[in-house]
């Protein structure tokens, strides 16, 4: 969808309506958040403002200037489609989406069949499926990532890059061509298996918009998961949210990992604030633990 519309957002699991919390676009909170002309994805015709670049430049201490950013984006669209393919075409009906987070709350949920029943299934970062199918499903249409969380994809899955610095865009170019050899705060895949015709890159201006409007500047910048939520509300008519939030002990951990650090937090992201907003959108329903 080109416009910001959503018939409803639902949260973790079945209930009447077909779910017990429906989120209609005439909701005041919803209309407040979605009042924007910011395009979510870069295209060959996108022209980022200096203001948006300056904000984005400070996320991870980017040292290179606006001209270098523009040159890098020009190279990007010399390789990838000049206009993003949203992949949500459906004749005669609403596009239903499952947004699948990585929270420990998914473990033992048996949500896999519900997730797989949606038209589009959006995952993010590492998000392993094998061995967790009963809880997380088996299908993926869009996989949101940044270089440090990159995974190989099949030829039918959209790679959605969230760039937090110019090097992230450089990585995307080189991961499909010569191979990336740079360094970062954690290991990065040199090359990636994915369909370059289905690559989409989130606009830095959109990340800024999510931070300023949705999060009201709480936290240093939004998490990949929260950015994915707002993206989903842009490309889907109906969004079902699975696997967000801390566990019952208030720990932020993933369904596929074991942690020894019981005090693990959400780093530069305002995890609890983001989660609270998702709950507000769902009129107060909370995740099962």
Q: Write down the pLDDT at residue 35.
A: 54
Q: How far apart are CA 101 and CA 105, in angstroms?
A: 9
Q: Is the pLDDT of residue 252 over 60?
A: yes
Query: Cα–chain-centroid distance for residue 15?
Result: 25
Share of residues in the chain with pLDDT > 70 (%): 75
Angle 147-224-286 from CA coordinates, rounded to 5° = 150
Q: Is the pLDDT of residue 245 over 80?
A: no
Q: What is the pTM assigned to this prediction?
A: 0.83
pLDDT in tens, 214-244: 998 988 899 999 999 999 988 888 889 998 8
- Positions marked catalytic: 221, 269
Q: Give CATH for domain 8-281.
A: 3.90.1480.20
pLDDT in tens, 117-155: 999 999 999 999 999 999 999 999 999 999 999 999 999
Q: Where are the domains of the chain?
A: 8-281
């Amino acid at each position: 969808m080109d416009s910001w519309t959503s018939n409803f957002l639902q949260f973790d699991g079945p209930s009447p309506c077909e779910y017990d919390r429906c989120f209609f676009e005439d909701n005041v909170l919803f209309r407040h958040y979605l009042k924007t002309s910011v395009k979510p994805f870069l295209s060959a015709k996108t022209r980022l403002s200096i203001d948006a670049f300056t904000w984005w430049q400070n996320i991870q201490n980017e040292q290179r200037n606006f001209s270098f950013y523009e040159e890098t984006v020009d190279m990007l669209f010399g390789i990838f489609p000049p206009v993003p393919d949203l992949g949500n075409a459906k004749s005669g009906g609403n596009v239903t989406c499952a947004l699948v987070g990585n929270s420990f709350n998914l473990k033992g949920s048996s949500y896999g069949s519900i997730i797989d029943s949606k038209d589009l299934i959006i995952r993010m970062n590492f998000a392993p499926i094998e061995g967790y199918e009963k809880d997380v499903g088996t299908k993926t249409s869009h996989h949101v990532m940044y270089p440090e969380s990159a995974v190989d994809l099949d030829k039918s899955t959209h790679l959605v890059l969230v760039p937090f610095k110019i090097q992230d865009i450089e990585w995307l170019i080189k991961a499909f061509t010569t191979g990336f050899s740079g360094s970062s705060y954690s290991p990065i895949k040199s090359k990636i298996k994915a369909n370059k015709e289905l690559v989409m890159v989130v606009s830095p201006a959109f990340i800024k918009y999510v931070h300023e409007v949705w999060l009201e500047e709480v936290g240093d910048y939004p998490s990949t998961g929260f950015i994915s939520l707002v993206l989903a509300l842009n490309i889907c008519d109906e969004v079902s949210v699975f696997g967000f939030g801390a566990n019952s002990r208030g720990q932020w951990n993933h369904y596929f990992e074991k942690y020894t650090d019981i005090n693990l937090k959400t780093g530069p992201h305002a995890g609890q604030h983001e989660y609270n907003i998702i709950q507000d959108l769902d009129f107060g329903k909370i995740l099962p633990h």
